[in-house]
Amino acid sequence: IIYLDNNATTRMADEVIQAVSEALVIYGNASSMHGFGRDAAAAIEQARHQVASLIDCDPSEVVFTSGASEANNTVFNIFRDKIDLGSKRNRIVTTTIEHPSIIETVKFLKSRGYLVDEVPVDKTGRVDLATLKTYLGEDVALVSVMTGNNETGTIQPIEEITKLVHAVGAYMHTDATQAIGKIPVSMKDWDVDYMSLSGHKFYGPKGIGVLAVKKKVPFETFIHGGHQEGGKRAGTYNTPSIVGIGVAAELAEKNLESESKHLWHLREMLRLGIVQTIPNVVVNGNQEHCLPGTLDVSFPSAEGESILLYLDLDGIEVSTGSACASGSLEPSYVLLASGVDIELAHGSIRFSFGHYNTEDDVKYVLQKLPPIIKRLRELSTR
């Protein structure tokens, strides 16, 4: 199997599997004061340091969650609870191309009367700073812009956006889920107030993520109960998964440079191969500011789902649009929001590379893909 769906999820690294397996044996409750409890607590604190080092923040700012969906929901919920609808600072600003865990939260908030603006993006899926500025004012409480898009790979200028956001006295959140381990990510340098990430996107376990919260920014306990996570999120610690995301974070930090080069090389090899061998294709997203492993391509007159199924028969696993939005057979909302034509949005395929892919994988795709597109195009013109 050639797995080219690493933006949906990644295979756990061997080092992570090893560490998680060992942590399964540390069965003490990290809140217990005896030796077993202290062993678990020490393993968790080590993971907190590993994650903090990766995203360049203080370990006390790391809150473990069940994933990025929970982290994203939580940031919006904090502001929902803080915002008095009648007050002057009562608006949230985000974009049209966020992950569904934000898009759906925004829909819910709007249905309850909260004021949320979704800033449009340009044709490459990038937020234009001048456009964003027109949405920012003294009435804005929170701005949330993702670091890199899961579907097109387009990277946003988070540092510049944060400056604009802070200039009007608002707080800044970024969903860095797709950027981790692929580009440098820094809470400190970017000066963001909240950041979300997810273990399973960088060779860690599923069901574990992080909400990083800068000191002295608004925060509410979001699960009431015990004193875990400094009283922010109650519940017995998921020690094995926390240990797993910690080891994954350490690997991501150590391998960042080589990983980024490896992913870009494979992505470019596939992009060039596709444009050279298949006529009339459109590469989506911003080609200058792009996550190194993501390649999103539209094949006019060939349906995305059909391409996906034919590739699957040949043992190549890709996705149409985003895995979270697919299953609906709707065209990609990310591409539509970027002003891409509806037919092109229907025929898009996302190839997303990971650590374990090789040049041979790309060669195999370049051998199988052109005849599939040719056949589907012939069928569609009959």
Binding site for ligand PMP (CB under 6 A): 67-69, 99, 101, 146, 150, 175, 177-178, 198, 209, 324
Is 231 within 8 Å of 221 (Cβ atoms)?
Answer: yes
CA neighbor of 294 nearest in space, from 224, 354, 379, 375: 354
CA neighbor of 109 nearest in space, from 86, 91, 133: 91
Q: How far is CA 32 from CA 29, 226, 236, 243, in A?
A: 5, 12, 10, 18
Q: Which amino acid is at 335?
A: L
Q: How far apart are CA 65 and CA 238, in angstroms?
A: 10
Cβ closer to ligand PMP: 201 or 299? 201
Q: How far is the CB of 267 from ligand PMP (least distance, A)?
A: 17
Q: How far is the CB of 96 from ligand PMP (least distance, A)?
A: 14
Q: In what order do the strands lie in the sheet with 294-298?
A: 282-284, 294-298, 348-352
Is 99 within 8 Å of 323 (Cβ atoms)?
Answer: no
Is 266 within 8 Å of 293 (Cβ atoms)?
Answer: yes
Q: How far is the CB of 16 from ligand PMP (least distance, A)?
A: 15
173 DSSP β-pair partners: 144, 194
Is 270 within 8 Å of 295 (Cβ atoms)?
Answer: yes
Locate 364 and state its tokens. Answer: 């195999």
Is 49 within 8 Å of 41 (Cβ atoms)?
Answer: no
Cβ closer to ligand PMP: 101 or 284? 101
Q: How far apart are CA 304 and CA 270, in angstroms?
A: 17
Using CB positions, name the residue nearest to ligand PMP.
67
Active-site residue, 324 included: yes
Q: How far apart are CA 86 and CA 49, in angstroms?
A: 41
Is 148 within 8 Å of 182 (Cβ atoms)?
Answer: yes
Q: How far is the CB of 178 from ligand PMP (least distance, A)?
A: 5
Q: How far is the CB of 307 from ligand PMP (least distance, A)?
A: 21
344 DSSP β-pair partners: none
Catalytic residue among 115, 164, 168, 324: 324
Please name the helix (run of DSSP H) or strand (run of DSSP E) that holds residue 364, with its range, or none: helix 359-381
Is 208 within 8 Å of 64 (Cβ atoms)?
Answer: yes
Q: How far is the CB of 128 from ligand PMP (least distance, A)?
A: 20
Does residue 235 sit in helix, strand or coil? coil
Q: How far apart are CA 135 and CA 147, in angstroms?
A: 19
Exposed / middle / buried, residue 271 (Cβ in 10 Å: 0-12, 13-18, 19+): middle
Q: How far is the CB of 100 from ligand PMP (least distance, A)?
A: 8
Q: How far is the CB of 211 from ligand PMP (least distance, A)?
A: 11
Catalytic positions are 324
